Structure 1
Amino acid sequence: MRRVSILAAIAAGTITMVSQMTAGQSADERLLGIPASAMSAPPHLKLDGPALPPFAYTVFCLRYQDECRTRPLFRGGPVLLTEARWASLKDVNQTVNRAIVPEPNEFGLATETWLIDPERGDCNDYAVSKRHRLMKGGWPARTLLLGEVVTVWGKHHLVLVVLTRSGDLVLDNLTPQIRPWSRAPYRWVRIQSPANPRYWNTVAPRSV
């Protein structure tokens, strides 16, 4: 499968997009199957200044120290999104979304606990479980970043952001689709630093 076919699947949730193309679209827009407004968005999140990590993440690092381990050398950037890697992302996203029974935290941040592969859990558990499985599968930790967002209904939410050369992708328990970050309907708050998983940064406002 060519890389452009992978991108088409990401952007539109299907590879067969011919029937949805319009004559007024550019070649890139037709290939990706997404509107021009989405094409104009930057493919990568831009990190801003340093931010305190969520308190629950600090507790998570005490419980799962290897998940937050700083690698001795930081090399490389986003990975090339090959057919095998795309299949890996889809498999992990689908498997974790199905394995954990949704159980929202009704008692606020003070009682929040982030667990890997629990039977029941909320968005935090889905995100850290996906990151854990992908790292075990050989994905570099620098490309798997936990990100805090705010939903359109005002709820703080955790997702996993995967850095690829084709763009930053969002794995989310609220949808089965893997989306480019610019198509996730969220306000971005803070995200892990790719250089050190214990450090977090704010996210610069998107400019298009």
Structure 2
Amino acid sequence: MRKVAKFLAAVAAVVVAVGVQQSAKAAFVGAPLGLRGALQYIKFDQPTLAPMAFTIFCLKYKDECKPRPQHIVFRGGRLKLTAERMAQLQEVNHQVNSAIRPEPNLEGLRGEKWLLHPTSGDCNDYAVTKRHDLIAKGFPARSVLLGEVVVPWGEHHLVVVVRTSSGDLVLDNLTGHILPWSKKSYRWVRIQTPKNPTYWASLGDRDV
């Protein structure tokens, strides 16, 4: 009987353990993007110069670059990512990626013109348009930042980083998927700072 009792106890322990694991998995199913174990945040390091094209962009679109008052309560300095906000992120990412026809800049720095809602353009136009549209939908400017990266084939590239309590997420014209910044195979160069969009910073080590 003791052996049987021990056997039944062991079976019960396994059942409980499986149930706990299934409950945990079920809890993550509803999490935005299924960000299991990927809650990594960008760490702002040293101040650095903003891209020259961004400075010109600010002269043309002054409202895009002015500091804005904070009206939304943040958790740990980051926006709480609700299902509604996640849907808005996906909507803006898809709409802008579809609306702008890809047109590479073949003139280098001389040919960089960051424009809002152009009919055709490069990564810079996609990024500034997405940031503009997200802020227009109520996202606080301090949580929607432009970031410069280097892609695996060596080109400099501009993306949008949305700082949330579920991790820092990247909106990119090269893909329709919104991914945590730590999942992108990019070398990060610099990013806007949350307090003032005209100030940029380099990136430190990943902060989990």
Q: Which residue of the partner structure matches residue 9 of structure 1?
A: 33
Gaps of 5+ in 2: 1-25
**Which segment drifts farther, 198-207 or 94-103?**
198-207
Match of 1:148 in 2: 148
Corresponding residue SS for 2:153 = coil
Aligned partners of 1:73, 1:131: CA distance in 2, in Å? 16
Q: Deviations over 1:128-155 (max 9, x none)?
A: 0000000000000000000000001110
Look up the SS of the partner of 1:160 in the other structure. strand
**Partner of 2:68: helix, strand, or coil?**
coil
Partner of 2:4: none
Q: Return the index of the structure with the highest Cα Rg.
A: 2
Whole-Å separation in 2 of the counterparts to 1:73 and 1:95: 27
CA distance in 2, matches of 1:65, 1:207: 32
Taking only the aligned residue pairs, the percentage that are identical comes to: 54
Counterpart check, 1:159 vs 2:183: no
* Distance (Å, rounded) in 2 between the aligned partners of 1:175 and 1:5: 22
Task: Give 1:54's aligned residue.
Answer: 51
Structure-1-length-normalised TM-score: 0.81
Q: TM-score by structure 2 length?
A: 0.81
Count residues in correspondence: 180
Corresponding letter in the other structure for 2:103: E
Structure 1 residues 126 and 6: CA distance shift in structure 2, 3 A: farther
SS at match of 2:113: coil
**Secondary structure, in 3 states, of the residue corresponding to 1:170?**
strand
Q: Are positions 1:96 and 2:96 aligned together?
A: yes
Equivalent-residue separation in structure 1 for 2:125 and 2:168 (angstroms): 21
- 3-state SS of paired residue (2:115): coil
> What is the correspondence of 1:13-162 to structure 2 with a 5 Å cutoff?
32=36, 39=37, 43-72=40-69, 76=74, 77-162=77-162
